[in-house]
Amino acid sequence: MSFNSLAFAIFLPLVVLLYYRFNLKQQNLLLLAASYFFYGYWDPRFLTLLLISTIIDYWAGLYIQRCVDTGKPEKRKLGLMLSLFSNLTLLGFFKYYDFFVRSADVMLAKFGLSTSLPILNIILPVGISFYTFQTLSYTFDIYRGTLKPTKNFINFALFVTYFPQLVAGPIERAANLLPQLEKPRVVNQDHFYKGIYLILVGLVRKVVIADTAGSLVENYFNNPANYSGEQLIIGLFLYGLQIYGDFAGYSDIARGSSYLLGIELMRNFHHPYFAVNMTDFWRRWHMSLSQWLRDYLYIALGGNRKGKARTYLNNMLTMLLGGLWHGASWNFVFWGFLHGLYLAVHKFFRNLIPYKKPATKNWAYYIKYSVNLLFTLCLANFTWLFFRSKDVATTKAYLAGLTRLQWDIPMAALPLLFLTFLILSIDLPQAIKNDEYAVLKLNWIWKALLACVALLLLFICGGYRAPFIYFQF
């Protein structure tokens, strides 16, 4: 079930209305049933994988804690290894089996060899990368001693399957979500207004901005040879708007839906295109994933504790695996490599020239800020070429097309400017006020006017319902 579908427009109000009538235990049972229905709406067969992952990690968490409580902490590694092996095996088989077999065939063919392994054309379960990382973080935290496992299977199952964030995040930590599931919740007026606001903003980001940009981006990537370099550059920036509007829109709707249930999910985006370097970008973009990679991969590799050269290598390895997490394609691997390179280069120059906070924000400061912002924006949007291309051949054709400059400004820049204006109209007031809910503090006339504009745009653009990009991950 997709957030931009008629089915969800019926499903969410029904769940919310029933939810308000129940006590805590009934609410959790309702949310669990609703979450399984929400996920099974795509394909009921995928529920089996979700249930297997839930049972294994529930047991693994209890086993790890039992080893600690009985004075046998050295045996707790068995529970962690079971969780890692089972989750990564399921993820590896369903997401990467065909990719590795095809890659092995290509490599061995160069030496006149071939594999006997068949291509299975496996259907990727929706959201498997997200809920796999979420359950793994649970067992990791128990193993590290920073979290106690829950003994209530219903609450744990709900933590794994909670429908607002099940399919595309944010990737929640048990320390944040589980306590909210275990205690009574009150939906007050503040929760309700924030929920409705985030859902509306999320729909505008997705339906009006992302889907409009996506309908234009399709042409550039299907036939890059037909366009000039300037047009292909515009295509890249349009895709930058599409993926931001699409994914941030999903996260907004997820958080808004959860607010209506009295449960607060973490923020997943913080105006990433206002970043002034690539390290700053990853503090703002897909924040739940970047924090997961930092806490469970980068630090495990040694972080910045083993010298500068090792720090740069750890950045590279972390982002390479982060790229592969997104999809079984060499394009995603190279996308991760580029971001790892960006981060390593930024850390190198930061170590070479330590940052000094300016005493005052004068004109020189704002010029430097603007240059850094534009440079970072260009770096980030260039990497979207590898993220969006369906294969290496498309990437090569697009890269070749970028060199065909005609030194003019095509008419295709007009929709880019309009969609950029829409994005800025949402993000800029929030950034200036440093308040995500700044709009809610306006007087009722302005709020009513902005709501009418948003609904009008949704009505005009709502005929085309594209799937969310991150459903494929």
pLDDT in tens, 186-218: 889 999 999 999 999 999 999 999 999 999 999
Query: Which range in 108-117, 147-156, 309-318, 361-370 is most confidently predicted, on average pLDDT?
Result: 147-156
Q: What is the pLDDT of residues 264-317, one digit of tens each?
A: 999 999 999 999 999 999 999 999 999 999 999 998 888 888 888 888 888 999
Half-sphere exposure of 366 (CA within 13 A, CB side): 3
Q: What is the pLDDT of residues 232-255, one digit of tens each?
A: 999 999 999 999 999 999 999 999
Does residue 1 belong to any structural domain of this protein?
Answer: no
Q: Tabulate helix, strand, coil % of the chain (nearest 5).
A: 75, 0, 25
Tell me the C-alpha to C-alpha distance, in Å, between residue 204 and each of 14, 94, 201, 286, 432.
23, 33, 5, 19, 20
Residue 468: pLDDT over 90: no
Q: What is the DSSP letter of 290?
A: H
Residue 399: pLDDT over 80: yes
371 CB-contact burial (10 Å; exposed 0-12 / middle 13-18 / buried 19+): exposed
Residue 380: pLDDT over 80: yes
207 CB-contact burial (10 Å; exposed 0-12 / middle 13-18 / buried 19+): buried
Based on the fold, state whether residues 298 and 267 are members of the same structural domain.
Answer: yes
pLDDT at position 365, please?
Answer: 80
> Taking Cα atoms as reference points, which of 410, 409, 382, 414 lies closest to residue 398?
382
Does residue 33 belong to any structural domain of this protein?
Answer: yes
Based on the fold, state whether residues 172 and 195 are members of the same structural domain.
Answer: no
Token pair 């990679």 is found at 293
pLDDT at position 19, please?
Answer: 95
pLDDT mean over 150-172: 94
Q: How many residues does the chain have?
A: 473
Residue 65: pLDDT over 90: yes
Token pair 């970047």 is found at 290
pLDDT mean over 120-147: 90
Does residue 108 belong to any structural domain of this protein?
Answer: yes
Does residue 310 belong to any structural domain of this protein?
Answer: yes
> Taking Cα atoms as reference points, which of 378, 376, 138, 163 lies closest to residue 250?
163
**Cα 210 from Cα 466, distance rounded (Å):** 9
Q: What is the pLDDT of residues 17-45, one digit of tens each?
A: 999 999 999 999 999 999 999 999 888 88
pLDDT at position 464, please?
Answer: 67
Domain closes at, from 185, 218, 245: 185
Q: Which domain holds residue 78?
A: 6-185
Does residue 471 belong to any structural domain of this protein?
Answer: no
Choosing from 191, 286, 326, 339, which is the catalytic residue? 326
- Overall number of domains in the chain: 2
Based on the fold, state whether residues 309 and 421 are members of the same structural domain.
Answer: yes
Based on the fold, state whether residues 89 and 51 are members of the same structural domain.
Answer: yes
Domain closes at, from 185, 220, 239: 185
pLDDT at position 408, please?
Answer: 82
pLDDT at position 169, please?
Answer: 80
**Cα 320 from Cα 338, distance rounded (Å):** 8
183 CB-contact burial (10 Å; exposed 0-12 / middle 13-18 / buried 19+): exposed
Does residue 473 belong to any structural domain of this protein?
Answer: no
Residue 350: pLDDT over 80: yes
CA 183: distance to chain centroid? 28
Based on the fold, state whether residues 289 and 418 are members of the same structural domain.
Answer: yes
Q: Determine how many CB atoms are found less than 10 A away from the CB of residue 452.
A: 10
Tell me the C-alpha to C-alpha distance, in Å, between residue 428 and each of 34, 201, 212, 368, 418.
36, 14, 21, 19, 15
**Cα 271 from Cα 418, distance rounded (Å):** 18
Based on the fold, state whether residues 125 and 145 are members of the same structural domain.
Answer: yes
**Cα 275 from Cα 413, distance rounded (Å):** 23
Based on the fold, state whether residues 198 and 329 are members of the same structural domain.
Answer: yes
Based on the fold, state whether residues 180 and 48 are members of the same structural domain.
Answer: yes
Domain closes at, from 185, 207, 226: 185
pLDDT mean over 130-147: 94
pLDDT at position 52, please?
Answer: 93
CA 433: distance to chain centroid? 25
Based on the fold, state whether residues 128 and 170 are members of the same structural domain.
Answer: yes
What backbone phi and psi angles, to 5 degrees, belong to 437? -110, 30
Tell me the C-alpha to C-alpha distance, in Å, between residue 349 and each of 139, 193, 206, 312.
37, 44, 37, 12
pLDDT mean over 340-349: 90
Residue 4: pLDDT over 80: yes
**Cα 303 from Cα 433, distance rounded (Å):** 34
Based on the fold, state whether residues 165 and 217 are members of the same structural domain.
Answer: no
Query: Is 326 one of the annotated active-site residues of the chain?
Result: yes
Based on the fold, state whether residues 257 and 374 are members of the same structural domain.
Answer: yes
Based on the fold, state whether residues 391 and 427 are members of the same structural domain.
Answer: yes
Does residue 38 belong to any structural domain of this protein?
Answer: yes
CB proximity list for 131: less than 8 A, separation 6 or greater: 50, 53, 160, 161, 166
**Cα 378 from Cα 269, distance rounded (Å):** 19
**Cα 84 from Cα 136, distance rounded (Å):** 7
Tell me the C-alpha to C-alpha distance, in Å, between residue 269 and each of 247, 338, 467.
9, 21, 20
Does residue 44 belong to any structural domain of this protein?
Answer: yes
Q: What is the DSSP letter of 268?
A: -
